[in-house]
Amino acid sequence: MLLCGHRGVAALAPENTLAGLRTAYRLGLEWVEIDVQLSRDDEVVVIHDNTVNRCSNGRGKVSELEWPELARLDAGGWFDAGFYGEAIPRLSDYLGLAHALGIKVNIELKIHAGDDPRRLCQHVHAVIAQLSLPENTLLFSSFEPACLAHLQQLAPAIARGLLVERLPHDWHAQLLRLGCMALHCNHKYLTHTQARAVNAAGFLLHCYTVNDKTRMHTLADWGVDMIFTDDPQGYQHQP
């Protein structure tokens, strides 16, 4: 079972920052997961919330701030004084460093109320196309099916995963319709029977956000292919 650093490595470094990516590298992680959305001036930025309030020294909605304003914010001091001055990164900067470090990236496309899924997908695709990154080093995921449908058209060779809280009754039909290779679900609501069904249908099963080592071992035994964790330290699984 693969470990994917959640929002970089959110327990050890400020989430969705280059510092978190470097921490993941030092820990030997093969994968990290990040969140992206658009600034007012259509820059693809790496941040989870629809505002900058929680994870920076700024205030306001990401969609109402332009990139130069976002770039000036401190996105590290809230986590620990040792990270003071850490910036909110652009997707282009994050992917460039990840590629240099040999780390694969799960890009979660965040859609908040009033957002245009097509617009976000187009700008994300443009960033990736400009960087000419290997397609097998990326994975798209989203709770918004419209995002995955757009990406199926824009970048069909990059794998996609449907994000859900609980497995819907029509999960199999949705995965087929969207051309997804993986189902991403909240581990708290997953049963052993469901895990076996997803695997038997030929899809990868990824679970978020797992920080308990005993639970990690249980999910590995159930056949879960990858888990997202804030802190991967200390986990060892014997296949």
pLDDT at site 234 = 81
Point out the catalytic residue in the list 6, 123, 184, 187.
Answer: 6
pLDDT at site 26 = 97
On whether the CB atoms of residues 44 and 92 are closer than 8 A, the answer is yes
Domain membership of residue 236 (yes or no) is no
**Model pLDDT for residues 97-126, shown as the tens digit of each residue:** 999 999 999 999 999 999 999 999 999 999
Domain membership of residue 239 (yes or no) is no
Residue carrying the six token digits 């997961």: 33
Domain membership of residue 106 (yes or no) is yes
User: Is 90 exceeded by the pLDDT of residue 143?
Assistant: yes
Percent of the chain past pLDDT 90, that is, above it, reads 97
Point out the catalytic residue in the list 48, 99, 172, 217.
Answer: 48
**Model pLDDT for residues 63-98, shown as the tens digit of each residue:** 999 999 999 999 999 999 999 999 999 999 999 999
User: Is 90 exceeded by the pLDDT of residue 236?
Assistant: no
Helix axes 145-154, 171-178, angle to 10 degrees: 30
Domain membership of residue 195 (yes or no) is yes
Q: Name the strand (E) or helix (H) holding 50.
A: none
Q: What is the 3-state secondary structure (H, E, C) of 131-173?
A: HCCCHHHEEEEECCHHHHHHHHHHCCCCEEEEEECCCCCCHHH
User: Is 90 exceeded by the pLDDT of residue 239?
Assistant: no
Residue 33 sits at φ, ψ, to 5 deg, of -120, 140
**Model pLDDT for residues 148-200, shown as the tens digit of each residue:** 999 999 999 999 999 999 999 999 999 999 999 999 999 999 999 999 999 99
Domain membership of residue 235 (yes or no) is no
CATH number at residue 41: 3.20.20.190
Instruction: Report the domain count for the chain.
Output: 1
How many CA atoms does the CB half-sphere of 207 hold within 13 Å? 26
30-39, 77-86, 228-237: the lowest-pLDDT one? 228-237
How far is Cα 2 from Cα 15, in angstroms, rounded to an integer? Answer: 20
pLDDT at site 235 = 82
Alpha-carbon torsion angle 159, 39, 18, 148, nearest 10: -10
User: Is 70 exceeded by the pLDDT of residue 25?
Assistant: yes
Active-site residue, 206 included: no
Containing structural domain, residue 20: 2-229
User: Is 70 exceeded by the pLDDT of residue 216?
Assistant: yes
Active-site residue, 237 included: no
- The rounded mean pLDDT for the chain is 97
Domain membership of residue 84 (yes or no) is yes
On whether the CB atoms of residues 36 and 91 are closer than 8 A, the answer is yes
Domain membership of residue 234 (yes or no) is no
pLDDT band for 237, please (50, 70, 90 cuts): low
Residue 138 sits at φ, ψ, to 5 deg, of -130, 155
pLDDT at site 238 = 57
pLDDT at site 156 = 97
Per-residue pLDDT, averaged over 201-208, amounts to: 98
CA 53 to centroid of chain Cα atoms: 20
